[in-house]
Structure 1
Amino acid sequence: MRLALMASGTGTNVEVLLSEKQAGNLPSVDWVLLGCDRPNAPTIQKAESLSLKTWVHSPGEFANKIQYEKSLHLVLSEHEIDGIVLAGYMRLIGPTLLEHWQGRIINLHPSLLPSFPGQHSINDALLYRVKLTGCTVHFVDEGIDTGPIIAQESVPVFSNDTTETLAKRIHRAEHSLLPKTVRRWSEGGFYLKDKIVHFVDEVGETI
């Protein structure tokens, strides 16, 4: 499965995914390129250090979001991409891209959705004093972290947690959940149909 990564920040999950491929743990994945919307994001250097092609598409270089996403679609199509993994990509995917890629984009989010969508999910978990939070991999739709859920992993929230300590715990869970989910996707283990995630067993039967 020819996959593209899209990220905006530090790239820790990008680094994990590329390292898992090098270790032989993602045999059906072909990482083709990393797309980034921020020219100076650390994720670019991490991807290049692991021999992945990168390209930077800054939204400020385009007249509007429609033109930006048309350009993204063109690059992805030229590279014959089968699916996209958003690993810390901090922009909402719009209808221009979804028109062509619905059901072929998955996202990682640091909460147990549908709780705490958006950019402040870790702080929100502390604010609401929940006992459990975690991370979610889901298909992308038009909303903010509202797409059909594929997989989740929970972590405890302790009374003395800070944003930093809880974030570290969630990131460890992300580094476990995302590679497993990507592997299952690349091996045909699930798909999206009529806004429902369908899982497939070892003999190819939908379960």
Structure 2
Amino acid sequence: MNKKLRLGVLASGGGTNLQAIIDRCREGKLAAEVVLVLSNKPQAGALQRARSCGIPAVVVDHRHCPDREAFDRRMVDALRQAEVDLVILAGFMRILTPVFLSAFPQRIMNIHPGLLPAFPGIDAQRQALEYGVKLAGCTVHFVDPGVDTGPIIIQAAVPVLDDDDESSLARRILEQEHRIYPRAIQLYAEGRLRIEGRRVRIDQKVADKTALASPAIP
């Protein structure tokens, strides 16, 4: 039996992407297991989701650390103790320092509710509406020292409707996030992702269109 990929998830909010990943693992559709959830927010819903599934969940409160590097070192120590293979950012609202990035080179993924490189940072859905784009979406990417600037793995697009507001657009994008994040992790687990400069090559076992996840994921 192949060893499952050990995931450490960092989350600051409700944890719906975490739940999608947990569900795919339990359904046998993802060759991975979440072994640790960390949050900088003691009341984060992601912590309760993890605990209800029997997954260790730990608070590392940044307010109790003297600086960002000390905060990151505490998280790195916890992830290493859990023998994490891949770090998953799921609504984690902190910018990682080189202390963290150097501990897990090319082993950190993030999901962003925008079609990068357009609309990085916070409030991507609002940015899309204000700009008047016809397509919005989400992006899974590897994490580098910038903000939402790492090599792109998968993107999914949704139409922007005339009557959309920020909430309605965010809901439709979130549905796609729950589809493509587990898919990106599975590709990593299968050893099919190769980073070449700014590009992520996906080794094709079959002729699919994985990198553009919308409309279909196998």
TM-score under structure 2 length normalisation: 0.89
Query: How far off its partner does 1:139 sit?
Result: 0.4
Q: Which runs of 4+ in 1 moved over 3 A?
A: 193-196
Q: Does 1:92 align with 2:91?
A: no
Among 184, 187, 199, the residue aligned to 1:184 = 187
Within a 5 Å distance, the mapping from 1:37-116 to structure 2 comes to: 37-116=40-119
User: Aligned-residue CA RMSD in angstroms?
Assistant: 1.3
**Which amino acid in 2 is paired with 1:14?**
L
Among 150, 154, 178, the residue aligned to 1:151 = 154
Gaps of 5+ in 2: 207-218
Q: Does 1:19 align with 2:26?
A: no
Map Cα deviations across residues 58-108 of structure 1 (whole Å, 9 max, x no partner).
111111011111111111111111110111111111111111112000000
Q: Secondary structure at the match of 1:141?
A: coil
- Contact 2:41 2:61 survives alignment (8 Å): yes
**Which amino acid in 1 is paired with 2:6?**
R
Within a 5 Å distance, the mapping from 1:133-152 to structure 2 comes to: 133-152=136-155
1:197 alignment partner in structure 2? 200
Q: How many residues align?
A: 202
- Contact 2:14 2:45 survives alignment (8 Å): yes
Map Cα deviations across residues 163-207 of structure 1 (whole Å, 9 max, x no partner).
11101100111111111111111111103354542322339xxxx
**Which amino acid in 2 is paired with 1:115?**
A
Q: Secondary structure at the match of 2:194?
A: strand
**Which amino acid in 2 is paired with 1:7?**
A
TM-score under structure 1 length normalisation: 0.94
Looking at structure 2, the residues matched to 112 and 194 of structure 1 have their Cα atoms a distance apart, in angstroms, of 19
Looking at structure 1, the residues matched to 158 and 26 of structure 2 have their Cα atoms a distance apart, in angstroms, of 28
Q: Secondary structure at the match of 2:147?
A: coil
Looking at structure 1, the residues matched to 152 and 15 of structure 2 have their Cα atoms a distance apart, in angstroms, of 23
Query: How far off its partner does 1:9 sit?
Result: 0.4
Gaps of 5+ in 1: none
1:5 alignment partner in structure 2? 9
